Chains A and B, each alone.
Chain A
Amino acid sequence: MTVENGQSTVDSQDWPLWEVFVRPRRGLAHSHVGSLHASDAELAVRNARDLYTRRQEGVSIWVVPAAAITASSPDEKDAFFEPAGDKVYRHPTFYPVPEGVEHL
């Protein structure tokens, strides 16, 4: 069900695994909603339509072979994402705004 499952073993007799992304409405981003098996991309889209948009959940579907997804590793998440933590100056709230300044 998640993007990180590119690792799951795909049996040779089994159809490949596809990850499904649905955009709920115009203006919103595609979100990952789940995965399914299908022999090819066209059938994956059709099955995703039946499976994930039966109740008007979306207006656009992307399917991606799970094998085509590379995910970051949870083991290195601290080291990998650390720079975000020690660069506080990236946030606008880091900067003091003097009394009386408007529209800043």
Chain B
Amino acid sequence: MPGASGLLSEVAAAEAELRAAADRDRGGDGAGVAAGDELAAYFDEVVGADQKIEPRDWMPEAYRKGLVRQIAQHAHSEIIGMQPEGNWLSRAPSLARKAILLAKVQDEAGHGLYLYAAAETLGVSRAELFDKLLSGRQKYSSIFNYPTLTWADVGAIGWLVDGAAIVNQVPLCRCSYGPYARAMIRICKEESFHQRQGFDLLYTLARGTDEQRAMAQDAVDRWWYPSLAMFGPPDAESTHSTQSMAWKIKRFSNDELRQKFVDMTAQQAEVLGLNLPDEALGYDQPSGHWRYTQPDFGELMRVISGDGPCNRQRIEHRRRAHDDGAWVRDSAAAYAAKQRTRKAAA
């Protein structure tokens, strides 16, 4: 898959850049015990020089808050995202596919943890973020509010949903906040495995029986537009974009990334032998891009505001796991306390 290997090399380039940024001599590194304007100037200078902001550096309050919001919602998405695929763990059609899916869901849990840890460097606690998720004060990706109706949906999620996620996340490997950039580098490498396993699953189905092929096509039909909507509202309506770009948190606009995803995916669909459900889809020679129909942003807004097909179910499931697990967490804490007391007494 040329698309994915291209993205992987972008991740490697971002990793090399991270090291280079650390070695770069910015000159005039005279922040010292500066206050007020000088701190802000220093912050701007670091961001301007493509260096990384680290947890104990001064940062504008809006930068910190924006990052907490974005990283936390990113983390929540990984955790909630385990549910639609987890739905098929016990029903995977072969042991090999089941083992692969288990590894994938395990990765999602890991991504959630990396991201919560990155958010915590900004001075919030994970418990506080859990609470915001469960009470609906923080959101997660709209995509996980769609149901997984067949086994082929697992493939469509890997190929389209994780594909869209990577296109979105690869530029974040160059984000100005060091802990987030480092977490994204780890995540993107693993996410590439997810995208490829999804492609492989659909490729197999597309070359199977008529029923398998139809199942694959049906899954692609249902996941295509929700995946396009993952890039968020069109640029003209995106509220956080301008500031995020100035602070180098975000590097490309929603529409730019969406186009990149369409270009990549349309080519891969041809190899798969499956159709993307868009009559208007076609390659535009002069621009070198694929024309496509925009997703229904009204639907996106409804899903984000809590009224998608599975919103209630997803949060209810997470809340139940949290509540039912309370006694286990308490037990672990009590056991740790007992061990500490024993060690102190010995």
Contact = CB atoms under 8 A, between A and B. Distances in A.
Interface of A: 1-2, 4-5, 7-11, 13-15, 17, 34-37, 39-40, 43, 50-51, 54-55, 71, 73-79
The 9 closest A-B pairs by CB, nearest first: A1-B179, A39-B332, A40-B336, A14-B127, A5-B121, A39-B336, A11-B127, A8-B120, A11-B125
A40 B335 contact: yes
Contacts of B125: 8-11, 14
B236 to A, nearest CB: 34
A54 B106 contact: yes
Interface on chain B toward A: helix, strand, loop, or mixed SS?
Answer: helix
A81 to B, nearest CB: 10
Contacts of B183: 1, 34
Given A1-B114, A1-B183, A8-B120, A15 B56 contact: no
B117 A34 contact: yes
B210 interface: no
B123 A8 contact: yes
B323 interface: no
Contacts of A76: 33
B29 interface: yes
Most chain A CB atoms below 10 A, which of B30, B55, B118: B55
A101 B179 CA distance: 48
Contacts of A55: 190
Contact of B332 (A1, A8, A15): A15
19 contacts: A1-B121, A2-B178, A4-B56, A5-B120, A7-B55, A7-B123, A10-B125, A15-B332, A15-B333, A15-B336, A17-B120, A34-B117, A35-B117, A39-B329, A39-B335, A43-B332, A50-B110, A51-B114, A75-B32
B54 interface: yes
A75 B33 CA distance: 5
